[in-house]
A and B are shown apart, each in its own frame.
Chain A
Amino acid sequence: MPEYDPEQELGPKFTSAFRGQAETTESQSGRLATVARLRVRRRRQAVMSSAAVVLVVVAIGGSWSVMSGLTGSGPENSSAGQADTGATGVSGPQRTMEAVPSQPSFGAAGCPAVHPILKAPATNAVPAGTGLDVGTPVTGLEACRYDLKAGALLGQQKFSPAIAQQVVDAIKVLPEMNSQLPVFKCAPQTAQPSEAIVLRFTTADGIREIWVEYTGCNSPGFFTGSHTYGLFAAPLKLFMTGPVRPTGSTYLDALKGW
């Protein structure tokens, strides 16, 4: 007696229903192509604008650094430089660090101005091979905060190896979802996340990332590409500092202690 196969019996019913419904659908192909090209042009303009802003910031930072160096080390200004240093207790190079808010407190972070998260279909779509295996030892961390709508780098911060490992340890014990977070019902426009943070960990195999989503009306959390961890305050408070600290968001406002 032949084995019963529900696919053979019921599959054609699905096929027939799908084909029947599909036939009722039409597209406006001309408009689709035009809108696609317009969107691509806008995205490219946004990327160019961000790159220009980054260049200006780097140029201003560089000029300030050169000027500080001249003021502090020039023989004709040495006494004035020393007096200045004595009065404020801040040396030239340290002032440079303060002048550029995106500069980190632990060495220089190397966040890319154009990151794959800006083009990803969702903030949990970490490209294959780039996500961090939370069991891997890490020796460094740079946190990069991005404005997903403008396609711009908002801030960056570098952390010590100890903090990097603490962040991983705090994430890997989290459940898949934080059930304490509020559930939102919102329109597609507001569902879009506006910001995200990319945690770039240094490992023996190179840089590996965890993407953090805390805005929009989407499922928030920490994403490694293969695992999802719920959004909790414990890891956030370790790296949400300085320029990488958002003022708030739909989900952060509901969390305490971050």
Chain B
Amino acid sequence: MEAALAAAEARSESIEFEQWVGQKADALMRFAYVLTGDRSLAEDAVQDALTTACARWARVSKADDPEAYVKRMVVNAHISWWRRFRRREAPVEDPVRSAPSAPDGAAARAESEAVWALCASLPDKQRAAVVLRFYEELSYAEIGVLLHCAEATARSHVHRALAALKTTLSKGGAEDA
């Protein structure tokens, strides 16, 4: 009897998990893509996070915000990649504006491309801080917790990225002129 109840509970959890993934997969993939800048890395990060979430679904589903919980797992997976691939994917020294100068109307898109290209050149922890700040709109304290660093360090990551962006845009502006 107890075994049957446990099996029924497991089946119900499995269905609930599948439904939840159906609702949240797109948001998780988008977040992971922005975080990693690479579709296959993003899919791996989401898959790893969902595997962990599936194994602990009873606990994850009771969290205040299961999506935020799983996103934290994605960030952790990304940070671990950062360690694994830091030598493989060395950031370039000077961020380069890759998008050519564009005529009016396409300017916003060109700027957006330049920002995305800049992000690809940022060290991964700096990039993660920027994504968490401007895509997830987290506070510096929350970013510090997620990246396992002090709030001041999180703030410093973001401000360095902003400084790099400013340099990139001003260089681009000078070239355009």
Inter-chain contacts of A10 with B (CB < 8 A): 162, 165-166, 169
B46 A27 Cβ-Cβ under 8 A: yes
Inter-chain contacts of B125 with A (CB < 8 A): none
Query: How many residues on the B side are at the interface (Cβ–Cβ under 8 A)?
Result: 58
Query: How many residues on the A side are at the interface (Cβ–Cβ under 8 A)?
Result: 46
The SS class assigned to the B binding surface is helix
Inter-chain contacts of A216 with B (CB < 8 A): 84
The verdict on A165 contacting chain B, using a C-beta distance below 8 Å, is: no
The verdict on A238 contacting chain B, using a C-beta distance below 8 Å, is: no
The total of Cβ contacts below 8 Å across the A-B interface reads: 145
A121 and B29 CA atoms in complex are apart in Å by: 19
Please provide the chain A residues from 4 to 43 with a CB less than 8 Å away from any CB of chain B in the complex. Answer: 6-7, 10-23, 25-30, 32-33, 35-37, 39-40, 43
A55 and B80 CA atoms in complex are apart in Å by: 34
Please provide the chain A residues from 92 to 128 with a CB less than 8 Å away from any CB of chain B in the complex. Answer: 119, 121-122, 124-125
Are A18 and B131 CB-contacts (below 8 A) given A27-B26, A33-B18? yes
Are A30 and B22 CB-contacts (below 8 A) given A22-B135, A36-B47? yes
- B42 CB contact (under 8 Å) in A25, A29, A43: A25
A15 and B28 CA atoms in complex are apart in Å by: 17
A28 and B26 CA atoms in complex are apart in Å by: 8
Shortest beta-carbon distance, A40 to chain B, in Å?
A: 5
The verdict on A188 contacting chain B, using a C-beta distance below 8 Å, is: yes
A39 and B55 CA atoms in complex are apart in Å by: 9
Inter-chain contacts of A191 with B (CB < 8 A): 84-85
Per-residue CB contact flags for chain B residues 138-150 toward chain A (1 = under 8 Å, else 0) read 0000000000000
A185 B51 Cβ-Cβ under 8 A: no
Shortest beta-carbon distance, A253 to chain B, in Å?
A: 18
The verdict on B96 contacting chain A, using a C-beta distance below 8 Å, is: no
Inter-chain contacts of B169 with A (CB < 8 A): 10, 13
Shortest beta-carbon distance, A45 to chain B, in Å?
A: 13
A7 B158 Cβ-Cβ under 8 A: yes
Per-residue CB contact flags for chain B residues 109-127 toward chain A (1 = under 8 Å, else 0) read 1011101100100000000
Task: List 24 interface pairs A-B (beta carbons < 8 Å), by A numbering.
Answer: A11-B162, A14-B119, A14-B130, A15-B134, A18-B134, A18-B135, A21-B116, A22-B34, A22-B135, A29-B21, A30-B18, A33-B22, A35-B50, A36-B47, A37-B17, A40-B51, A43-B51, A121-B52, A121-B76, A121-B77, A124-B83, A125-B76, A216-B84, A217-B84
Given contacts A18-B134, A35-B51, 16 further A-B contacts (CB under 8 A): A6-B159, A7-B158, A15-B135, A18-B34, A21-B112, A22-B33, A27-B25, A28-B25, A29-B25, A33-B18, A33-B25, A33-B54, A35-B50, A40-B54, A125-B76, A188-B44
- B-binding residues in A (CB < 8 A): 6-7, 10-23, 25-30, 32-33, 35-37, 39-40, 43-44, 119, 121-122, 124-125, 183-186, 188, 191, 216-219
> Which 3 A-B residue pairings sit nearest by Cβ, starting from the closest?
A29-B25, A122-B80, A22-B30
